[in-house]
Structure 1
């Protein structure tokens, strides 16, 4: 491993790079954790209408991820290929985030149209500022250990903010709204949005693209797609990312419903989410673990830890042991920290593998990250909202037995199955192929 003096980046740049994910997560976690609840219990949309909206949005986001990837790969500017996107799209991104939580006094149809316009716009702009975080990584350094460090720093800040949003959103909603959740959610997203804007601009100012080969950097889309079909590690990672965000969406969206309707204590949500702080332990473990074993093996261990934690959550739910449930959340979060902390690092490896095949297409290859996020969240939202609709859920009322049973399935059993599937898929990942190709 090279000494730090030989590395390309310095700490101000590393911190600024990591803060880019913190900026996006301030808004993104509001979307994944509380938007379904906001739409059904605050804004007044039906679960079935929200389910359709989430499906439409995720289909649009899948297409948008690919489009943004192409835009990055065909960008020529004095700032590079990925870096300009932080500058160009940061203000519209924050503006649409705020508009998404505005509750105009329209008819039901008007409210639904407003939700479609703002949420679809937010989805496109989120991709425009988030995808470059992944695509710029392999251009910042050629040192594998340095790329791992940068990825860990990014996920440390991203996970920290994820926990901040999970723990402090509802208290902030109360602080700003004093019982009026419409005003509370709006005040909260305005604060998060202003902080996010500052952090995104900070990333643009301090981060640099250094390693790019102009001879292979702007390939035609047809050539890139042919390379993707032969990039087996990229295909495997795309599936793993999708499955991770699928299980994340299902669990996060169900958490508030579980504590509100099954346990009858919505005030426990910040406490439960507080135990996700353990994700930071998992993220920090990556540096030590990858010193002694491959990134693939490290992620497999992360999945097993997450699976174990999920099994403990099941014991807590069905044994009605709150402390056991919290212990399960803690252990599950350590595993999740390892998984998500390695995602951008291993995607960077697939980008470098693509370059070894003569094609530098970090934009399209990095789009798999946002593709997996959007597709996973979309299907997760569809499953959750769809099951709510089928089971007869009625907002702010005592729920029937079918709905309570469905909440338990979403919170416990479906995630268990997905974690097991994720382990099997990642087992097919051929990391040695990447190492041999890059060294050659």
Structure 2
């Protein structure tokens, strides 16, 4: 069964779900390390340990949850039903994660670890169906590119709004509170996120439903299917390089607080993220004319040039910092929809070679890799701060300040260079994908793996 055109209302609602869900991701990804070290009072090393333990756990549970989701065939769809109840779960666990509990340091560390790990687990169960929806809203590649763009635009808007609004909300509620207003600010943002996510659920429908044997998939088969998906693993390698950018994201609050002397400026990064996310809208225009891989390589080269310019400009001028961050973010954000669209295309690759359509296990790679990069970045950030000689709530040395700026401006270049190398290895192009879709629609498969 095929369906091409995705209604504008569905695209807008899908965008809204991504934005609402990523209020949670933005809050945890940007502010949790600062919350742990400067409010809850646990050490950067302890926070790093929590992040790494969580990702080891994710290595086991992400594929399992994805396989279970793919093996289900519920009355209202394979993925959409999860969009109906998981918003409530995500909101509750996000609030619990930012509670400044009383007790000794061991109790606080255990509470932080338990809530963070549970947050990551539950976020997976919400995020996998969300991204898998791109493959069932339409079977037409250009429409999928639109869906992936709306999803990524929503993700960027959600993260950006969290970074922009949260500091002001926290300051508004901070008076008389030992958590600097974090908890009530989180509750307000997640309340808005709940409304956006539920609207996304009510206004999206699954239009592509596998028929016959393709719809019958066991948990074990989903793992065998993803093993055959060679293009997917290259894309995940490319996506994993976000870890270097995530280290920079984690250090923004420290950079603006200590280097720039104004922690409130972190809200400017949120504004930049929101404004620059509009650049994602250019992606479908470009993919209609050029190959995704080629666009990606050009954007990577431009990012390297921009980051070098940022570093040599220094951070004496607030205006200069904001301009360079805007340029870097515009370039980077245009790459995000390309990753999701390329992952969506690989669903047909494994479908053609196995006869089984498994989108959730495919996007589990993106979900796990995204969380892994955030967690590793969180862990490494704590270690980096320790190496740089960072002292919480104190005046930092010049060496510490310069080290933080280096991580903000130049460190992500390492990941970008690796991305270019991996993109040169990626050979599954649009023409090959279109050929596979034609064959699948005719019922022609090349079963190369025993499933």
- 1:424 counterpart (396, 401, 421): 421
- 2:328 counterpart (328, 332, 340): 332
> The residue matched to 2:109 in structure 1 has which SS?
helix
* Structure 2 equivalent of residue 237 of structure 1: 235
For residues 46 and 65 of structure 2, the distance between their equivalents in structure 1, rounded to whole angstroms, comes to 28
Q: 1:267 to 1:211 in 2, by over 3 A?
A: closer
> Is residue 346 from structure 1 mapped to residue 365 from structure 2 by the alignment?
no
Unaligned segments of structure 2, at least 5 residues? 440-451
For residues 88 and 226 of structure 2, the distance between their equivalents in structure 1, rounded to whole angstroms, comes to 33
Q: How many residues align?
A: 434
Q: Residue by residue, what CA displacement relative to the aligned partner does 1:52-108 show, whole Å, maximum 9, x if unpaired?
A: 011111222232221221121121211111112122322222111001111111111
Q: Residue by residue, what CA displacement relative to the aligned partner does 1:248-269 show, whole Å, maximum 9, x if unpaired?
A: 3201101111121223222322
Tell me the CA shift for residue 235 of structure 1: 0.7
* Structure 1 equivalent of residue 443 of structure 2: none
For residues 70 and 238 of structure 2, the distance between their equivalents in structure 1, rounded to whole angstroms, comes to 24
For residues 408 and 72 of structure 1, the distance between their equivalents in structure 2, rounded to whole angstroms, comes to 42
Q: 1:399 to 1:330 in 2, by over 3 A?
A: same
For residues 413 and 426 of structure 1, the distance between their equivalents in structure 2, rounded to whole angstroms, comes to 21
**Matched-pair contact (CA < 8 Å) for 1:58–1:377:** no
Tell me the CA shift for residue 300 of structure 1: 2.2
> The residue matched to 2:392 in structure 1 has which SS?
coil
Q: 1:314 to 1:218 in 2, by over 3 A?
A: farther
* Structure 2 equivalent of residue 301 of structure 1: 298
Q: What is the root-mean-square deviation of aligned Cα atoms in Å?
A: 2.1
- 1:67 counterpart (46, 64, 68): 64
- 1:314 counterpart (268, 287, 311): 311
- 1:41 counterpart (38, 51, 61): 38
**Matched-pair contact (CA < 8 Å) for 1:174–1:180:** no
Q: 1:248 to 1:396 in 2, by over 3 A?
A: same
For residues 218 and 63 of structure 1, the distance between their equivalents in structure 2, rounded to whole angstroms, comes to 23
Alignment of 1:271-420 (within 5 A): 271-317=268-314, 320-357=316-353, 358-420=355-417
**Matched-pair contact (CA < 8 Å) for 2:163–2:269:** no
For residues 64 and 176 of structure 2, the distance between their equivalents in structure 1, rounded to whole angstroms, comes to 42
For residues 90 and 265 of structure 1, the distance between their equivalents in structure 2, rounded to whole angstroms, comes to 34
**Matched-pair contact (CA < 8 Å) for 2:71–2:218:** no
**Matched-pair contact (CA < 8 Å) for 2:54–2:116:** yes
> Is residue 109 from structure 1 mapped to residue 106 from structure 2 by the alignment?
yes
Q: Residue by residue, what CA displacement relative to the aligned partner does 1:133-191 show, whole Å, maximum 9, x if unpaired?
A: 11121111111121111122222222222221122211111012137461511111101
Tell me the CA shift for residue 272 of structure 1: 4.0
> The residue matched to 2:214 in structure 1 has which SS?
coil
Q: 1:179 to 1:255 in 2, by over 3 A?
A: farther
> Is residue 216 from structure 1 mapped to residue 214 from structure 2 by the alignment?
yes
> The residue matched to 1:30 in structure 2 has which SS?
helix
Unaligned segments of structure 1, at least 5 residues? 1-5
Moved more, 278-287 or 44-53: 278-287
